[in-house]
Amino acid sequence: MNLFELKTERLLLRPFKLEDAGSVFSYASDPEWGQFLPIPDPYLEDDAVEYVKKSSHTDWKKNAVWALVPDFGDREGLVSGAIHLEIDDVKKTAELGYAIARSLWGYGLVPEGCKAVLRYAFKNCQLLKVDAFADVSNERSWHVMESLGMERVALRRRSRPRESDYVLEVGYSITADLWQENNENSD
């Protein structure tokens, strides 16, 4: 098993491979899927190839990027999303990001994968805190963060490539201590 692979009950999280571009394009070209994400619109095959190239050659000490591969359903064995962890090694903090194919929304796979990534972040990277942000209109994402035990801590404005204006984002955070307290029986 690869050093960066994580396994959950229903997911394999692994580094991206160049051959994943077709799978990425198949879910990322759905406009509803990308409505809250800073991605090109429309999302083209070249965008998927560029994303996979960048993700497969990332510096895991600064920007860990896992491909989400479910082991059930119509996307079994196919890359169906990603979880990112942008790490600030000086401050010992990170920003968590995630997305999954629309056909898999509502199955609890993102919280399941993010929980494995947070466990990795706090144990392997010795991070002190992880933050996550979502468009204030993206309640699904809020629920993911809340299910991970994250606490709402901020509102901020951020520019997006597809937007002419700034968007309002809600921010959540979890410290290593709070993670340990919430997960002491499951780690």
Residue 83 domain flag:
yes
Residue 117 domain flag:
yes
- Look over the chain and give the mean of its residue pLDDT values, rounded to a whole number: 91
Residue 60 domain flag:
yes
Q: What is the pLDDT of residues 103-143, one digit of tens each?
A: 999 999 999 999 999 999 999 999 999 999 999 999 999 99
Residue 72 domain flag:
yes
Per cent of the chain over pLDDT 90 is 76
- Which residue spans within 49-148 are E strands per DSSP? 63-70, 81-88, 93-100, 129-135
Q: Residue 40 has what pLDDT? A: 86
Number of domains in the chain: 1
Residue 134 domain flag:
yes
Note the pTM of the prediction, 2 decimals.
Answer: 0.91
For residue 71, the domain's CATH number is: 3.40.630.30
Residue 102 domain flag:
yes
Q: Residue 156: in which H helix or E strand, if any?
A: strand 151-159
The domain of 164 spans: 6-183
Residue 54 domain flag:
yes
Residue 12 domain flag:
yes
